Structure 1
Amino acid sequence: MSTASARQAADRADGQRAVRDFVAADRELALLRELIEATSRGPRVEPLAAAAARMIIDSIGADVCFVHVLDDGDRSLTLAGATPPFDSEVGRVTLPLGSGISGWVASHRQPVVITDHKESDPRYLPVSALCSADFTSMVSVPMETDPGGLVGELSVHTVQRRQFTPRDVELLQVIGRLIAGALHPARLLRQLVARQRAHEGYVEQVIEAQENERRRLAGDIHDGISQRLITLAYRLDAAAQAVHGDVGEASEQLGAARELVGLTLEEARAAISGLRPPVLDDLGLAGGLASLARSIPQIDVEVQLADSRLPEHVELALYRIAQECLQNVVKHAQASVARLSFTLNDDVAILEIVDDGVGFNSAEHPLGNSETRGYGLLSMTERAELVGGRLTIRSRPGLGTAITARVPLQPRHLRAPGA
């Protein structure tokens, strides 16, 4: 071959390499755009991992891709994304950190390339759900981000034998870092949501335990103290009737004792009601609020109540808020009319009490004026926050006061009346 022919052949080869490099660069740019687009759809782990797995297959030309994400305890990997037919196993396959090739790659933060006979590798661990024995060649790389550290691991597999190149490994590592950067905030959000749910569950359990204890105490008072006082009252009545002759002093003492028994019995009944309002168990929140409104003769209380049942701890909190609020209206508002409403709007329970009393400047005193601050507004605020809600107070001098409690509810928390 002449020198000119050799030069032409070399130029053609250089041109072909340039075209291949251009195509590869264009493919990687398209992959980057797809990753950015997937990230912009929302910070959720599983959709991001699934989108990444599909993009990797398109980019590197493998048969299947698995994306494992480190769990919240940093002790195991969970399959968060996979290409068909293994996408149905997402969330169902878990590997302890360090177990299997994927676990080894994640714990050592080093890539692994296996061209064939991966079953002979001492790190290999068969996973029946993923049919890993059907694949011959594989590449596994860690997914890391700074400053988050290890996020997970991704691997690609081929049925036919394939000699993965250093460029393939480098591309997967770059993709792994990009995915890690997108998955890290998603993991943080998932951890935050999990902790919030755990906190809500803890609060609910605490309130439920308190209510169970209050029920027990109420039952003990009702079955013990109240019954004994009733029996004592009968005996005192009988003793008064049985006395003959000059019984002035005895009758006076017996009358005083009878009066004391009556007062004690009223206190016991009030204590029972204070521990756990029986009306909530009998009539639900709407019936309890209606009964509460009727029990206040000092002002005219208008009611608008949705007949819906809520979780017990939410019903109790709203009932106590209404009870405290109406007591404040009677004691401090100098009102003639109040409106009590309970509604549900877009899975939010809303309790509102509005009066036409003297009011106060809520901008200067968000928890009430100097006269009312010590009478339960803080307690109402804490009750609302304890069940995940919020209390707002709106008032102006001479224009009355409106107190609103809003408690977000999960759809599963809503119950049909009487359920």
Structure 2
Amino acid sequence: MTGLGLADPARENALLVGIIDAISAGPELELLAARVADLIVAATSTDVCFVHVLDDTDRSLTLAGATPPFDSQVGRVRLQLGEGVAGWTASRREPVVIVANKDDDPRYRYFPQLRGEDYTSLVSVPMASRPGGLAGVLNVHTHARREFTERDVRLLTSIGTLLAGAIHQARTHRRLAARERAHERFTEQVIAAQEAERQRLAADIHDGITQRLVSLRFHLNAASDALADPGPDGTGFAATQLNRARELADLTLDETRAAISGLRPPVLDDLGLADSLTSLARSIPGLDVVLDVDQCELPEHAEIAIYRIAQEALQNVLKHAGTRDAGLSLHHAGNDVVLQVSDAGCGFDRNGRSSGGDPAAGGYGMTSMAERAELIGGRLEVESRPGAGTRVIARVPRESPR
């Protein structure tokens, strides 16, 4: 059998109109991919269609839509750019046609859940648009051998171009919705944190600083009374009270500094961001941190956010990575300042955890770091695989919004 069965221009137009209708239905990416996959299979007399969409990291593809029975695998199949036929198509942005014997093709990778042994021929085309760039890859497969023509490939490529714009729009909509939800959650967390911090500070001041000041006043009054009406041992008693008062004053000063440090790291005022990160890395017991930091000028509130992200990321290495060795770098990259904290520890499965969104999925620390980066106009990227370590990358603009 040859061709996709679209020699009739009316049938081809009906397919394109159906795709446009699917695109117009709404910005839900998975729903769009599922509807388009069904339309393509029905119109082209192929047996299965897969829609692989480029992730937000721009480094991997995720199965976003598929015809039954593979619709259950949506969101579960992921591959890196360059991996498998779809990954090769994405990295080269060139179509691939395999008529038979795909196991002999070095670009092919077998996915057990997609049952590649049941299909003989395939076409893989990039979904890309000129303004938005690569959006993903469109694959069709047939059970029987099929001689796909150049016209077939051009048609599927045109469909891919049409879908690319819709996918870019859906991704933008999803990012904006996620950012709005994150800001709502973060606002709630900020309010709760402010109240908790006020209570903590009030308790610290009442139970610590205030009580020490009361004791300090008692000892000073005792020393004053002894000096005003010295008895046989008045001078010695006064000296003892003054020594205790001095000790209390030192403790009170330490507690006051600790309270101030909890609100804003004073080391930022004293040393600047780069040296503050160096001091932070060297102050964490149990970690050997290789440093590579440049002096990077940022607004004050952005420096605090970067410092807290680094602090949380290093604590995560200490608590979860299973290694003493870590790296911390801070550099300019175009119009951004990039902080990176890395380790060669145990890593984790990124498919089951994320850097933002559900705290249970990625841990509150990951969520907190992502939201800190977003609030200053930046973004957080987390790269990790089991046994391959973890990299936390925060990118923030040099002129971040307040």
- TM-score, normalised to structure 2, is 0.50
- Higher Rg of the two aligned structures: 1
